[in-house]
């Protein structure tokens, strides 16, 4: 009996975890604010 996880490669697992992390981070207002601040800072420095 196969559970469906037999074909889960390391790359697929990495993509799933990264997708979840990005989704959680995008809901965090502090992360969004600091990301925008850093983008403005980097853009102004160039």
Give pLDDT, residue 40: 97
| Token representation of residue 42 | 């980097």
Give pLDDT, residue 17: 95
Q: What is the dihedral of CA 25, 30, 35, 38, to 10 degrees?
A: -150
Give pLDDT, residue 31: 84
Distance in angstroms (rounded) separating the CA atoms of residues 42 and 36:
10
Phi, psi at 3, each rounded to 5°: -95, -5
pTM score: 0.48
Question: Are residues 37 and 43 in contact, defined by beta-carbon separation less than 8 angstroms?
Answer: no
Give pLDDT, residue 5: 56
Q: Which residue has the tokens 């009996």?
A: 1
Tell me which residue of 12, 8, 29 sits closest to 20, measured CA to CA.
12
The mean pLDDT values, 10 residues at a time, for the chain of 46 residues are: 65 93 88 92 94
């Amino acid at each position: 009996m196969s559970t469906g996880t037999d074909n889960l490669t390391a790359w697929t697992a990495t993509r799933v975890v990264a997708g979840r992390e990005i989704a959680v981070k995008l809901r965090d207002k502090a992360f969004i604010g600091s990301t925008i601040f850093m983008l403005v800072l980097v853009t102004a420095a160039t």
